[in-house]
């Protein structure tokens, strides 16, 4: 039930429960969706049948099997960090979409990707601080600088992913410096800022991420 625990972590972090269980929308076999073997291990699928948006989440069963043996919510390690990022991105997309839909709020693709990049990082920071008792100094570089993108992405999608990564890296670095990498950490202020950011739409998210 690692995905449900990830979803619960996001709901608590942002005080933003969506009221939907990701397992009710989850597919783990890419053959059911006719996805090619080289396709990404995570996708959120959105369609509109005339009665409103319909959602589905694909996370490859091999990723979930590995996470079942190396649960990152118990301990994030070099062995499970990549799978954590894959699964958490799917959970983030699902949680954010369902929360925005429940509040009748629009959402853009860049906004969705930017929030997921922030979610993966700040949740990992929170988990590692609980697990190790200190701020993970190398995590920002590992999640934002050592990133690769699938070769088959079209130019528009690749540009959006790179832009989301750049905005999130800048925003998360600013949060670290202002609230966490200080003599007296300000966890309450850090969380309050994150909750405000979560509720912003596309334009305000991009603006806040670009501020210095």
SS (H, E, C) the chain: CHHHHHHHHHHHHHCCCCCCCHHHHEECCHHHHCCCCCCCCEEEEEEECCCCEEEEEEECHHHHHHHHHCCCCCCCCCCCHHHHHHHHHHHHHHHHHHHHHHCCCCCCHHHHHHHHHHHHHHHHHHHHHHHHCCCCCCHHHHHHHCCCCCCCCCHHHHHHHHHHHHHHHHHHHHHHHHHHCCCCCCHHHHHHHHHHHHHCCHHHHHHHHHCC
| Among candidate residues 148, 48, 143, 60, the one with its CA nearest the CA of residue 97 | 48
Report the alpha-carbon angle 79-142-18, nearest 5. 80
Query: What does pTM read for this prediction?
Result: 0.92
Task: Measure the CA dihedral 12/15/20/26, to 10°.
Answer: -50
State phi, psi for 65 to the nearest 5 degrees. Answer: -65, -40
What does the alpha-carbon distance between residue 97 and residue 95 come to, in Å, rounded to a whole number?
Answer: 6
Would you state the pLDDT for residue 158?
87
CB atoms within 10 A of CB 208: 16
Tokens of 84: 């954590």
pLDDT tens, N- to C-terminus, the chain (212 residues) = 899 999 999 999 999 998 899 999 999 887 776 665 556 788 888 776 666 667 889 999 999 999 999 999 999 999 999 999 999 999 999 999 999 999 999 999 999 999 999 999 999 999 999 998 888 989 999 999 877 777 677 888 889 989 999 999 999 999 999 999 877 889 999 999 999 999 999 999 999 887 65
Q: Torsion-angle region of residue 45: left (phi > 0), alpha (psi -120 to 50) or beta? A: beta
Would you state the pLDDT for residue 54?
77
| Among candidate residues 45, 40, 54, the one with its CA nearest the CA of residue 152 | 40
Would you state the pLDDT for residue 35?
63
What does the alpha-carbon distance between residue 193 and residue 13 come to, in Å, rounded to a whole number?
Answer: 11
Chain center to CA of 38: 22
What does the alpha-carbon distance between residue 86 and residue 105 come to, in Å, rounded to a whole number?
Answer: 26
């Amino acid at each position: 039930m690692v995905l449900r625990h990830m979803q619960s972590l996001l709901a608590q972090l942002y005080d933003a429960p969506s009221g939907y269980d990701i397992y009710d929308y989850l597919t783990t076999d890419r053959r059911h969706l006719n996805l090619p073997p080289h396709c990404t291990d995570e996708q959120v699928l959105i369609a509109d049948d005339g009665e409103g948006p319909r959602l589905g989440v694909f996370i490859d069963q091999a990723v979930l099997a590995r996470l079942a043996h190396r649960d990152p919510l118990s301990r994030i390690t070099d062995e499970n960090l990549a799978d954590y990022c894959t699964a958490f991105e799917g959970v983030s997309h699902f949680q954010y979409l369902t929360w925005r839909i429940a509040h009748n709020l629009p959402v853009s693709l860049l906004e969705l990707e930017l929030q997921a990049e922030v979610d993966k990082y700040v949740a990992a920071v929170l988990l590692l601080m609980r697990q190790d008792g200190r701020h993970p100094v190398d995590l920002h570089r590992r999640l934002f600088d050592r990133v690769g993108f699938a070769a088959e992405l079209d130019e528009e999608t690749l540009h959006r992913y790179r832009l989301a990564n750049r905005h999130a890296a800048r925003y998360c670095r600013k949060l670290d410096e202002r609230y966490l990498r200080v003599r007296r950490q300000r966890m309450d202020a850090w969380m309050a800022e994150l909750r405000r950011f979560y509720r912003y739409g596309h334009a305000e998210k991009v603006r806040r991420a670009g501020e210095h």
